[in-house]
């Protein structure tokens, strides 16, 4: 259903796939992921829209940057890719890290609509770290108590441990970046789709984000995790199609 293609931007080979016809929908995956993670959504949208899914630099089959980029650099790379593909005023759907890129893009460039799937945006120093939040959740579930020591060593650092030195530095650059000021500049209609039990982007952040972005609405899925868009694929697709149309 669509063929993988390569486009060269800022001296990097970027892997992407396109299919469908209609308004342009761009899908941006989360950290440490790839095109395949967004394809279940892309394939369901392709009967109504022209879908473009990227492997972000350093992910999937796209080339790794030679130096540590910021999340703003990722946004500029996205802009250049869309220019080369002659796409302007896109509908952007971003999960997690991809959603953070979407926030910056929509704050700075024409965007028809923005859909954020568990995209952490607001970073306050006093907020609990991912590891602490996850451990607090583990303590509430008796059978998981015994895994606490294991969790202390492993949870929240998997992405970091699996990354190359350059990608580790990029992760450090982006994880603590507060995007509240960017979010305030977003003028396009924005849909926030969140899982009630998301530990990586807590639902409190989604509620705060909904207040910051003028024209926005929030849909929360009970028991949904950070991957709510996959766990509730069909209902999420219906909500997205209704919102876009």
| Closest by CA position to 121, among listed 145, 142, 100, 151 | 100
pLDDT at 127 over 50: no
For 30-56, the pLDDT digits (tens) are 988 999 999 999 999 999 999 999 999
Strand blocks (E) in the chain: 4-9, 12-19, 24-28, 50-54, 91-95, 113-117, 190-195, 216-221
Q: What is the pTM of this model?
A: 0.84
CB-based contact 83:213 (threshold 8 Å): no
Q: What was the pLDDT predicted at 176?
A: 74
Q: What was the pLDDT predicted at 123?
A: 67
Cα distance between residue 78 and residue 69, in whole Å = 13
Mean pLDDT for 70-82 is 96
Q: Which of 78-82, 128-132, 140-144 has the lowest mean pLDDT?
A: 140-144
Q: What was the pLDDT predicted at 2?
A: 78
Give 18's pLDDT tier (boundaries 50, 70, 90). very high
Domains and CATH numbers, the chain: 4-127+167-244 (3.40.50.1820)
For 176-186, the pLDDT digits (tens) are 789 999 999 99
Cα distance between residue 234 and residue 226, in whole Å = 16
Mean pLDDT for 87-93 is 97
Q: What is the DSSP letter of 23?
A: S
Cα distance between residue 20 and residue 39, in whole Å = 12
Q: What was the pLDDT predicted at 168?
A: 82
Per-residue tokens: 83: 């220019």
Give 172's pLDDT tier (boundaries 50, 70, 90). confident
The DSSP bridge partners found for residue 50 are 24
Mean pLDDT for 104-119 is 97
Give 133's pLDDT tier (boundaries 50, 70, 90). low
């Amino acid at each position: 259903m669509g063929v993988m293609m390569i486009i060269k931007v800022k001296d990097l080979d970027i892997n992407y796939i396109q299919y469908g016809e209609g308004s342009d929908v761009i899908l941006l995956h989360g950290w440490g992921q790839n095109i395949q993670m967004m394809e279940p959504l892309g394939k369901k949208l392709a009967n109504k829209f022209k879908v473009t899914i990227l492997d972000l630099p350093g992910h999937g089959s796209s080339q790794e940057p030679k130096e540590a980029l910021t999340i703003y650099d990722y946004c500029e790379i996205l802009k250049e890719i869309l220019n080369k593909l002659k796409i302007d005023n896109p509908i952007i759907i971003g999960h997690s890290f991809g959603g953070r890129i979407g926030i910056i893009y929509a704050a700075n460039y024409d965007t028809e609509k923005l859909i954020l799937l568990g995209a952490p945006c607001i970073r306050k120093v006093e907020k609990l770290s991912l590891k602490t939040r996850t451990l607090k959740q583990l303590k509430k579930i008796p059978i998981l108590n015994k895994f606490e020591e294991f969790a202390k060593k492993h949870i929240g650092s998997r992405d970091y441990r699996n990354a190359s030195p350059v990608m580790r530095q990029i992760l450090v650059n982006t994880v603590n970046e507060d995007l509240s000021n960017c979010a305030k500049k977003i003028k396009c209609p924005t849909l926030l789709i969140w899982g009630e039990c998301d530990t990586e982007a807590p639902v409190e952040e989604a509620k705060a984000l909904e207040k910051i972005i003028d024209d926005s609405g929030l849909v929360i899925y009970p028991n949904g995790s950070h991957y709510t868009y996959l766990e509730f694929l069909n209902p999420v697709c219906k909500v997205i199609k209704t919102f876009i149309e």
